[in-house]
């Protein structure tokens, strides 16, 4: 029997039993519309209210600062468009980083075509922006600064509190895409002092297609979806009650077990990093210190990332090369190029992301299977042959 190891938890996670158990009643017997006033509807309304309190508490926010969305991408789109509309009198300048998820990056490139001006802050080889460069980039007409809390491809964690402070000192709104951070590392919206923050349930063992946008109290942001007036008139449409309940249960669980999970996950990640770094012509990508507990990301020279992922799949291992969203294209990831890797090196990227559902046996198996696959792929590679000939 071939083993099965899921090591693509930055792409999505398995749903936890806690989340699924919490959802089941709302997929079966409690199917009422939360807007209905009879008791079956009130049961759903109560579940929504309670989920909002749970999500708020996990972030140190107030329940009225939480708006449920259809996932991380929607939260990012909403945050950006709402901020720009709200700040239209200030200007049309936006600052972001060169390593954002496409939910932010592609939204901003669409806005550039509509007359907005975007400054893309470069990052160093670890994936960190320079705070001095941010300070220089902020202008009087800067409406929004949006910079991610943790990168999905290389796991770098950015100093959001410092970044938010600089953005806000000049009167710009600050949003962070915290989709990779929430449920994995401590996220306290008051301590970070952000205006808006996005999260998605399926990255912390909740269901797919549900997320939330935190909006600091006092910022009356415009509506994103118009209709029946749900989410205090800002995001209409009958609520995904079961999904929202599942998200709250998953987040509560993640926060309750965070210290323990971080210790366990970091141990697995560090074994992967220590062992796979021994492979010749391999390199860890991202910040070696300020990085997500579960992200082990590499580039292997003279390797085609796609071939590597398919070879691993044949051995029952799910991993990714670049991000899931860009893996359909042949262009190397914008994140890997932004940290200064050459095209041909960036093509040989591998991202292994583990969470608390993984075991040390999973790591044993990856470490047993991966090095021989790399040797085999290199043996077939003309680039590798060339490289070895040059050396001798
Ligand atoms: C996954 C992800 C998103 C998109 O979230 P969805 O729920 O899949 O729409 C946005 N930003 C980051 C950093 C992500 O990792």
CB neighbourhood size of 140 (10 A): 10
Q: Is 318 a residue of the active site?
A: no
Question: What does the pLDDT look like over 190-225, one tens digit per residue?
Answer: 999 999 999 999 999 999 999 999 999 999 899 999
Instruction: Strand 349-353: give its sheet, edge to edge.
Output: 282-284, 295-300, 349-353
Q: Which of 325, 367, 369, 383 is catalytic?
A: 325
Residue 306 has pLDDT above 70, yes or no: yes
Distance 192 CA to ligand 1 centre (A): 20
Q: Which two tokens stand for residue 341?
A: 């890797």
Q: Which two tokens stand for residue 74?
A: 């929607």
Residue 392 has pLDDT above 70, yes or no: no
154: Cβ below 6 Å to ligand 1?
Answer: no
72: Cβ below 6 Å to ligand 1?
Answer: yes
Asked whether 280 and 232 are in contact (CB, 8 A), the reply is no
Distance 99 CA to ligand 1 centre (A): 13
Give the confidence band of 328 by pLDDT, cuts at 50, 70, 90: low
Looking at ligand 1, which residue's alpha carbon is closest to its atom 14?
179
Distance 363 CA to ligand 1 centre (A): 25
Residues in CB range of 330: below 8 A, 6 or more apart: none
* Ligand 1 pocket mutation, candidates 68, 100, 152, criterion most atoms within 8 A of CB: 152
127: Cβ below 6 Å to ligand 1?
Answer: no
Give percent of the chain above pLDDT 90: 95
Question: What does the pLDDT look like over 57-99, one tens digit per residue?
Answer: 999 999 999 999 999 999 999 999 999 999 999 999 999 999 9
Please give the pLDDT value at position 167.
Answer: 97
Residues in CB range of 371: below 8 A, 6 or more apart: 276, 279
177: Cβ below 6 Å to ligand 1?
Answer: yes
Please give the pLDDT value at position 327.
Answer: 52
Give the confidence band of 126 by pLDDT, cuts at 50, 70, 90: very high
Please give the pLDDT value at position 231.
Answer: 96
Q: Which domains does the chain have, with CATH numbers?
A: 17-256 (3.40.640.10), 257-391 (3.90.1150.10)
Residue 390 has pLDDT above 90, yes or no: no
Mean pLDDT, residues 163-174 taken together: 97
> What one-character DSSP code corresponds to residue 154?
T
* Ligand 1 pocket mutation, candidates 108, 158, 196, 203, criterion most atoms within 8 A of CB: 203
Distance 30 CA to ligand 1 centre (A): 29
How much is the pTM?
A: 0.97
* Ligand 1 pocket mutation, candidates 8, 100, 177, criterion most atoms within 8 A of CB: 177
Give the confidence band of 2 by pLDDT, cuts at 50, 70, 90: confident
Lowest mean pLDDT among 59-68, 188-197, 267-276, 330-339: 330-339
Asked whether 326 and 309 are in contact (CB, 8 A), the reply is no
Distance 331 CA to ligand 1 centre (A): 20
Environment class of 89 (CB within 10 Å of its CB; exposed 0-12, middle 13-18, buried 19+): exposed
Please give the pLDDT value at position 331.
Answer: 80
Mean pLDDT, residues 146-160 taken together: 98
Distance 154 CA to ligand 1 centre (A): 14
Question: What does the pLDDT look like over 98-123, one tens digit per residue?
Answer: 999 999 999 999 999 999 999 999 99
Looking at ligand 1, which residue's alpha carbon is closest to its atom 3?
72
Give the confidence band of 391 by pLDDT, cuts at 50, 70, 90: low
Please give the pLDDT value at position 173.
Answer: 98
Tell me the C-alpha distance between 142 and 100, whole Å. Answer: 18
213: Cβ below 6 Å to ligand 1?
Answer: no
Question: What does the pLDDT look like over 346-388, one tens digit per residue?
Answer: 999 999 999 999 999 999 999 999 999 999 999 999 999 999 9
Nearest atom in ligand 1 to the alpha carbon of residue 202 is 7
153: Cβ below 6 Å to ligand 1?
Answer: no
Distance 155 CA to ligand 1 centre (A): 13
Nearest atom in ligand 1 to the alpha carbon of residue 103 is 10
């Amino acid at each position: 029997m071939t083993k099965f190891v899921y090591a693509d938890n930055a792409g999505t996670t398995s749903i936890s039993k806690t989340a699924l158990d919490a959802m089941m009643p709302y997929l079966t017997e409690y199917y009422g519309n939360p807007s209905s006033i009879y008791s079956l509807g009130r049961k759903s309304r109560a579940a929504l209210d309670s989920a909002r309190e749970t999500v708020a508490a996990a972030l140190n926010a107030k329940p009225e600062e939480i708006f449920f969305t259809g996932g991380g991408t929607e939260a990012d789109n909403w945050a950006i468009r709402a901020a720009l509309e709200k700040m239209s009198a200030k200007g049309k300048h936006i600052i972001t980083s060169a390593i954002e998820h496409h939910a932010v990056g592609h939204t901003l490139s669409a806005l550039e075509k509509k007359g907005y001006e975007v400054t893309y802050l470069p990052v160093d080889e670890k994936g960190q922006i320079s705070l001095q460069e941010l300070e220089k980039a902020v202008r009087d007409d800067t409406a929004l600064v949006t910079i991610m809390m943790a990168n999905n491809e290389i796991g770098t964690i950015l100093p959001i509190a410092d970044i938010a402070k600089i953005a806000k000192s000049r009167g710009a709104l600050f949003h962070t895409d915290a989709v990779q951070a929430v449920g994995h590392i401590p996220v306290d919206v008051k301590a970070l002092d952000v205006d808006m923050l996005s999260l998605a349930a399926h990255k912390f063992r909740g269901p797919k297609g549900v997320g939330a946008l935190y909006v600091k109290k006092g910022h009356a942001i415009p509506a994103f979806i118009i209709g029946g007036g749900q989410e205090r008139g800002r995001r209409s449409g009958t609520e995904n009650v079961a999904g929202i309940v599942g998200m709250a249960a998953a987040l509560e669980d993640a926060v309750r077990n965070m210290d323990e999970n971080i210790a366990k996950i970091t141990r697995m990640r560090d074994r992967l990093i220590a062992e796979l770094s021994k492979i010749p012509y391999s390199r860890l990508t991202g910040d070696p210190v300020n990085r997500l507990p579960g992200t082990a990301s590499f580039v292997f020279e003279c390797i085609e990332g796609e071939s590597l992922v398919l070879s691993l799949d044949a051995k029952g291992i799910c991993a990714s090369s670049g991000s899931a969203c860009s893996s359909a294209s042949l262009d190397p990831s914008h994140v890997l190029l932004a940290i200064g890797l050459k095209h041909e090196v960036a093509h040989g990227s591998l991202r292994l992301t583990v969470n608390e559902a993984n075991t040390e046996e999973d790591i044993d198996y990856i470490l047993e299977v991966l090095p021989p696959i790399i040797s085999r792929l290199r043996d077939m590679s003309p680039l590798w042959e060339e490289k070895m000939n040059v050396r001798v």
